[in-house]
Chains A and B, each alone.
Chain A
């Protein structure tokens, strides 16, 4: 029995070792490189603006459905690749860790003279000096000591010592930070895809909704489907009212929006729980819902603020009214100015932002019992006296004409976000540390006036020889070389 078990674990062990294969890593890398491409060429559900089912012929669509081509980045083959990558990464990291840790954490040891001679000739400097041991040691330490480098001193004999220090040794295992961060990002992404959701709603100004159409929904999003609603329509548990939506355009570039902003009110159980403004790049959060200003659109509707004035006493007898296109507004009973002495009833039929260069204007029609009375008439906002020319007992002055838009909101919940942003920070720190910092070791040995100074670097020695030469120069400032003790570069040979 025990044998069977140990055989089993042996097999597991062997599998684990096999999973750490670098071949797997490269197969996955090239796989990701190639398999990321189809999703950018073939239409994707919820990414492309065109539905693949509409665009492609039936045979290709069937084929694509089977191989999940239209949801490439969530397909079994793509997710499978990433899963293999994660397993491979964990296996590799686990199995290489002892070796890597030893490399990074190893305490440097003093070098034998031969080790100095083995170093590349441009990373090695040798000279004779008259300076005595104690003074040499003191001045070398004074020159070397810094917050980053903790020099180690080994007194090898009565007349000799060695000072050595290193910088950037953690860059050797900074790749662990990078790889762990990638796993953290994966974890955050999994959490988001299980519990998160993304949706959108278009709300006309002044109206409210309590459902959103989701285009991405995790299995455990916790949102209720809307009764008798669309397949992807979900109740969010409160009402979102777009109290006001404003869009400003650049004056010299018509049609190019400069800013758009929605004033939102959120009502839960009939009570106002939150209100605020959102605009592009500044979202608003309530509970675990974040609302983003994504877009806007025209509805062909206008809001009109007007005043109805009695022509005989316009200053004292007037009423302010508010209406929209196609909706009748009625003057108060005090202003019975229609032909049959009943309150005037007006409908705004049409509006324009700029009527033939004269500014905003509205086309009104007086109505009575849903039938037009007289002819429709234009009123211009910029010319308040304009309507006084019309033959009627009353005149209309327009105070405001404003186009009504719908605001395009997106709503999202991304519970994995804090986790993957944390991972991103680690990824960046790790990448910069691993690739910008190198592990450098410096050794200086003194023996009866003989100074050997050499350095090693774990990657790309390019340019490093200059830094080593600068250090040598620093030391030579106080460990003055005796004349002729620095051999010419060509003569220098181990």
Chain B
């Protein structure tokens, strides 16, 4: 086995170790008392092992490519490097700030990034095209990692803060159901709303210069084999689960929104009567909402089952063929499952968290840290573009979305410093910023095109 294959093997194994740590986090949420610490300790240990494999995989790729080619020059490596950055911030938060449970939110994100990297067909350590042969590549991307990693962890703390600060569980559930709906709406494709059939690209195809089409293999060279094209096909096995989960999530969104149960605040946690009272006030309706939500999640699972049934042989889902499906549905599925588990154990989960002020402070502190690096990301990008193409700012989609991300956190900072927004609104803004960031990082490359389309000459 070559060093190249070994590096990929290491990175794949680290994804599985991260997956195991996610399960350990789920168990730690579901347990009580001392078991929470034990299981979050196990989870943290698994994260440490995964991180070692992850780091050595990146290191090997750097060694293969040589000193001037850092391991963050194509889509595959960018995903892995961003995930690595998030883990660095998570480990720091876990040990320095004694926040073991933040991993329960950030680790699924890391896992999704790693999962997406596994699905990226082009895993070669390709030499750099001239435009990327610059020291700015190293500086620019490292600043990006610091900014995006910080913002991501800030979003995780903001999410924990929203839960801890007594935002109604139903409201969060309703919000998640709406996001799931939106994602399904996008993933279904235009066909779903005109003919009712779920459509998707079963696999990515490459068009060879002579016009023939072949399916993508696991590893390929983009420039040699011609462009990747997608062809939408009807997947009838997925149509019923698709519509079922749309209807169920719609129902969950409405029911959970209309009947919200105020959960006991931080201080009343100790009093079981308050919790019981609160449960009695709207428990049944909420149970209905949660049931619908669970049904929606099952529908999602069935949807993936249907897709799996329809795909066989050399057809595989790849990031290039189905960016929405893979990205949005994976994320939706994971967070919905997490939500259901947390909802069952909400009070206990809250009890394991520090107070809301501290969560808010940590989220804010991370924005304070990351924002200057986001500014540096924009400025170094401009300097680099100026030296390579003679224009510092060209409004190409990648630049513009990095700028939009910057504006989002600008709003966060001014909301905090100038308007003294309530912590809950700040947390919402931090999460909105994170969603924009994800689009700036991945969506632009997968959905929109621009100069940053990695690997294209």
Binding site for B on A (CB under 8 A): 22, 25-26, 29-30, 32-33, 36-37, 39-41, 44, 47, 49, 72-73, 189, 198, 216, 250, 252-260, 279-283, 290, 292-294, 410-412, 414, 417, 420-421, 424, 427-428, 431-432, 435-436, 460, 462
Residue B419 CB within 8 A of the other chain: yes
Do the beta carbons of B379 and A428 come within 8 Å of each other? yes
Closest Cβ–Cβ distance, residue B154 to chain A (whole Å): 13
**In chain A, what residue has the closest Cβ to B131?**
A280
Question: Given that A40-B444, A428-B375 are known contacts, is A417 also in contact with B395, CB under 8 Å in the complex?
Answer: no
B382 within 8 A of A: yes
Cα–Cα, bound, A256→B358 (Å):
51
Chain A min CB distance to B443 (Å): 10
Chain B residue nearest in CB terms to A289: B390
What are 15 contact pairs spanning A and B, CB under 8 A?
Answer: A26-B414, A29-B411, A44-B395, A198-B390, A253-B127, A253-B223, A258-B127, A292-B388, A294-B389, A412-B391, A414-B391, A417-B386, A420-B392, A431-B371, A432-B372
| B side interface size, CB within 8 A | 53
The residue on B at minimum CB distance from A37 is: B404
The DSSP consensus for interface residues of chain A is mixed
Select which of B134, B375, B408, B457 is within 8 A of A257 by beta carbon: B457
Given A30-B411, A424-B382, answer yes or no on A255-B223 (Cβ-Cβ < 8 Å).
yes
> In the complex, what distance in Å separates the CA atom of A29 from the CA atom of B406?
11
- Nearest-CB distance from B292 to chain A (Å)? 32
Is B364's CB within 8 Å of the partner chain A?
yes
B277 proximal to A (CB < 8 A): no
B126 at the interface (CB under 8 A from A): yes
Contacts of B221 in A (CB 8 A): 253
- B265: Cβ under 8 A from any A Cβ: no
Top 9 A-B residue pairs of the complex, sorted by shortest distance between their CB atoms: A412-B390, A280-B130, A40-B397, A292-B390, A431-B372, A73-B395, A432-B372, A435-B368, A424-B379
Provide the bound-state CA to CA distance between A445 and B386, in Å.
Answer: 56
B361 at the interface (CB under 8 A from A): yes
Determine if B224 is an interface residue (Cβ-Cβ < 8 Å): yes
The closest CB in chain B to the CB of A435 belongs to B368
Contacts of B392 in A (CB 8 A): 414, 417, 420
Are A428's CB and B130's CB within 8 A? no
B-side contacts of A39, CB under 8 Å: 395, 400
Residues in A with CB closer than 8 Å to B401 are 40
A281 close to B387 (CB less than 8 A): yes
Residues of the B chain whose Cβ atoms lie less than 8 Å from the Cβ of A462: 358, 361-362, 365
A460 adjacent to B391 (CB under 8 Å): no
User: B376 at interface (Cβ–Cβ under 8 A)?
Assistant: yes
Q: What's the least CB distance linking B304 to chain A, in Å?
A: 28
Add 12 more A-B contacts to A22-B419, A256-B126, A293-B130 (CB < 8 A): A25-B418, A26-B419, A33-B407, A40-B401, A47-B395, A252-B127, A253-B223, A258-B127, A280-B131, A280-B133, A283-B387, A292-B390
Name A427's contact: one of B126, B364, B375, B444 (CB within 8 Å): B375
* Chain A residues positioned under 8 Å from B419 (CB to CB): 22, 26
* B396 proximal to A (CB < 8 A): yes
Across the interface, which residues of B come within 8 angstroms of A414, CB to CB? Answer: 386, 390-392
Distance in angstroms from A487 CB to nearest chain B CB is 25
Measured in the bound complex, the distance between the Cα atoms of B224 and A283 in whole Å is: 29
Q: Are B410 and A29 in contact (CB under 8 A)?
A: yes
Q: Is the C-beta of B394 less than 8 angstroms from some C-beta in chain A?
A: yes
Whole-angstrom distance between the Cβ of B391 and the nearest chain A Cβ: 6
Kindly state the separation between the CA atoms of A482 and B215 in the bound complex, as whole angstroms: 81
